[in-house]
Amino acid sequence: MKLAIRRNGNNEKLMSNKTLWLCFGVFLFILIGFIIPAPESLVQTLEENGFVDKMVDWKLATSVDEVAGKTMVVLGMVAMAVVFFATEALPIGATGILMPIFAYFFGLLPFGMIGKTFSGDAPLFMLGVFALGVSVVSVGFHKRLAVWILGWTKGFWLPMFVLCISMSVIGSFLSAPAMCSFMVPVLIAVYAGVVSNNKKDGKIVHDPALAKLLLFSLCFSLNVGGVGTPAAGGRNVIMMGFFSDYNIPITFFQWMKYGWPLVPIGGCMVFLYMMLLFGRKVKTRDLTPGLLAIKQDVKSNGKMSYKEYVTVGMLALILFLWILQGEELGLGGPALLALIIPVVFKTTEWKTILKGISWDAWFMYCGALTLGVLLRESGGALWLAKSFLTALENVHLNEGYALWVGMSGFSGLLTNFMSDAATVALIGPIVIPMGIMTGIEGEPWAIGLAVAFASSYAHFLVVGSPTNALVYGLGIFPDTHERIIKPSDFIKYGFLLWVLCMVLLWIVELLVIYGIVGFPEGILDAARSAGI
């Protein structure tokens, strides 16, 4: 027992050595970016796919070698960022800021493109979602929401089960980041009620394991819900677009036939995994006091107030615009209403909104978007994808089930390092032609769906999805204002779950659901006729 404690202490000491990890990250950046020569396959990819011409047209390089050198710098940045994000060698917001700084000083993108990574639709969407969470909490609507969803449950196991299942199901139809912004304050309120009920000598005794259990259960459940319908995220819509480009369009309900059965199964798996992981660590195994405290608080406040009605109306309006006007307005436009409506209707003060936004998490997310653009525009992402495909071909895993597993595994891995939409946008144009070339009926849909589904499982890096960033940014102990979750916790608790989700995809989806649902006849011929 003492040995185990000593080992855990040594691990914690190693992870907390910021100087060590800072030096290691810088070393990787220099090694990959400036010392290791660019592989010949990388140079060939850059030449054949127009990246050299593009960089020359942008006046960022004058030769193939210079373009390849810049791509190696980007790959070095990826390695460094992963180390920094995972260990907090620098504050994660500062690491995010490093990405555009490096892009400017190393001439990796035109100036105008660098700025857009901090002011595009996705950053503004995140900003609005953060503001949405602040508004919901400021008017107390999060407590009423908790009563609606969890108020009828008691004990420990049932509330956790309802949480995991309900969030995975809701996350398959609505924006997971939006639900996260509502529910994180809800769960923190439940947690606060639980620990307040167990005071010792008038002092609150915190139970960090319980707080992490609640937040990670929410986060992971919303992530696994992303496979269910096209409405769950832009990655699914992007893959639908690729299917249409190849004359093999898929409808909303056809997508659901393949993806939605995984949703409740994934929710149950998250529940069991989290309970096994945290079951013995949690000191307070009864959420009833927290739920009762919220119910009593809501009851004492009486009927919904003017501020709550305005907040509900704002939520309904934003969700309506996301679902029905998403193509015309994007996600960022409607989300920004959360910054204006509360101020105009005097439900939340402007200073409260600004103070409540987690700027650290926002800068981190924008930096991750910058890194994703750098990977895509430099040719680094395409080279990584082609290298992976070549490796599969070398071991004869380039068709059927082996191809589905290989490319979905690559998609699931890559989506933890760059946005899910960018992952699908990168891999989709590669894998659908591969599915056509196999000559197997149904293969274009099979490989495309497998890649899209895997892109939902961004569990083990804080930059993997907006949901992860929101849980990290909004998850704060109410009395000490310290963060509940560290970036390294995502690796610690999320990596094994990512492996389990991939296994679930490979076995249940690819072997069982594909076999039961099947694929419509004529898909292969229709895709071939597209001539792309």
Strand partners, 200: 203
**Whether the Cβ atoms of residue 193 and residue 291 lie closer than 8 Å to each other:** yes
- Give long-range contacts, CB 8 A cutoff, 24+ apart: 475-479: 475/184, 475/188, 475/211, 475/215, 476/188, 477/188, 477/206, 477/211, 478/188, 478/192, 479/192, 479/204
Instruction: Give the residue among 210, 221, 140 at the shortest CA–CA distance from 174.
Output: 221
Domain boundary among 62, 89, 112: 112
Read off the DSSP letter of residue 484. Answer: S
Count of all residues that appear for the chain in the document: 532
Residue 394 lies in a domain: no
DSSP state of 416: T
- 152 and 102 assigned to the same domain: no
Do residue 279 and residue 307 come from a single domain? yes
CA distance 17 to 275: 30
**What single letter denotes the amino acid at residue 146?**
A
**One domain for residues 77 and 126:** no
* pLDDT value of residue 2: 44
Considering only residues 467 and 394, tell me which one the structure prediction assigns the higher pLDDT: 467
Block residue for tokens 């071939």:
528
Q: Looking at the domain assignment, is residue 462 inside a domain? A: no
Digit-coded pLDDT (tens) for 505-531: 999 999 999 999 998 888 888 888 865
The two most distant CA atoms of the chain are separated, in Å, by 76
**Residues of 500-527 as b/e, b for ≥16 C-beta within 10 angstroms?**
bbbebbbebbbeebbeeeebeeebbebb
Statement to judge: residues 45 and 135 lie in one domain:
no
* pLDDT score recorded for residue 53: 93
> In the structure, what pLDDT confidence band is assigned to residue 12 with cuts at 50, 70 and 90?
low
**pLDDT at position 16 over 80:** no
In this predicted structure, the answer to whether residue 374 has a pLDDT above a threshold of 60 is yes
User: Which pLDDT belongs to residue 25?
Assistant: 93
Question: How much is the average pLDDT of 46-50?
Answer: 90
> Residue 517's pLDDT is what?
93
Of 333, 359, 385, the position where a domain reaches its end is 359
Of 509, 519, 16, the C-alpha closest to 262 is 509
Nearest CA among 182, 94, 81, 197 for reference residue 140: 182
pLDDT in tens, 403-457: 889 889 988 998 887 767 777 877 777 778 777 777 778 888 999 999 999 999 9
Residue 212, domain member (yes or no):
yes
For residue 163 the two structure tokens come to: 């949480």
Flag whether pLDDT at 3 surpasses 80.
Answer: no
Examine the domain organization and report whether 85 and 132 are in the same domain: no
pLDDT at 356: 83
Mean pLDDT (the chain) is 86
pLDDT digits (tens, 9 = 90+) for 313-340: 998 898 788 767 766 777 788 889 999 9
**pLDDT at residue 22 above 90?**
yes
- Flag whether pLDDT at 134 surpasses 80: yes
Place of tokens 């509940």: 484
Report if residue 203 sits inside a domain: yes
Residues 56 and 189 in one domain: no
Question: Do 55 and 27 have their domain in common?
Answer: yes
Per-residue pLDDT band for 5 (boundaries 50, 70, 90) equals very low
50-80 CB burial, b ≥16 within 10 A, e <16: ebbebbeeeebbeebeebbbbbbbbbbbbbb
**With bands split at pLDDT 50, 70 and 90, how would you rate the model's confidence at 89?**
confident
- Return the exposure string of 214-244: e unless at least 16 CB atoms fall within 10 Å of the residue's CB, then b: bbbbbbbbbbbbbbbbbbbbbbbbbbbebbe
Question: Residue 198 pLDDT more than 90?
Answer: no
Q: Within this chain, do residues 192 and 262 fall inside the same structural domain, yes or no? A: yes
Q: Is the pLDDT of residue 4 over 70?
A: no
- How far apart are the two ends of the chain, measured CA to CA in Å? 62
Question: And the tokens for 185?
Answer: 């304050």
Residue 459 sits at φ, ψ, to 5 deg, of -95, -25
Residue closest to 434 by CA, chosen among 305, 524, 321, 342: 524
Per the DSSP assignment, residues forming a β-bridge with 377 are none
pLDDT in tens, 23-45: 999 999 999 999 999 999 999 99
Same domain, 161 and 203: yes
What gap in Å lies between CA 58 and CA 114, rounded to an integer? 13
Per the structure, the count of domains in the chain is 2
Among 7-16, 172-181, 269-278, 483-492, the minimum mean pLDDT is found in 7-16
CB 336 within 8 A of CB 128: yes
Q: Are residues 72 and 197 in the same domain?
A: no
- The mean per-residue pLDDT over the stretch 228-233 comes to 78
- How far, in whole angstroms, is CA 503 from its chain's centroid? 19
Rounded to whole angstroms, the Cα distance separating 72 from 78 reads 10
| Residue 409 placed within a domain | no
pLDDT one-digit tens code per residue, 239-293 = 887 788 788 888 878 899 999 999 999 999 999 999 999 988 998 888 998 888 8
Q: What is the pLDDT of residue 193?
A: 87
Is a pLDDT exceeding 50 seen at residue 1?
no
Among 116-130, 392-406, 481-495, the range with the most confident prediction by mean pLDDT is: 481-495
Do 161 and 308 share a domain, yes or no? yes
Evaluate whether residue 528 is within a structural domain.
Answer: no
Residue 178 inside a domain? The answer is yes
pLDDT of residue 265: 96
Domain extent at residue 139: 122-234+249-359
Q: Which of 359, 375, 393 is the last residue of a domain?
A: 359
Do 25 and 126 sit in the same domain of this protein?
A: no
pTM of the model: 0.77
Asked whether residue 41 is domain-assigned, the answer is yes
Confidence of residue 473 (pLDDT cuts 50, 70, 90): confident
Strand ranges in 201-245 using DSSP code E only, listed in sequence order: none
CA distance 336 to 124: 7
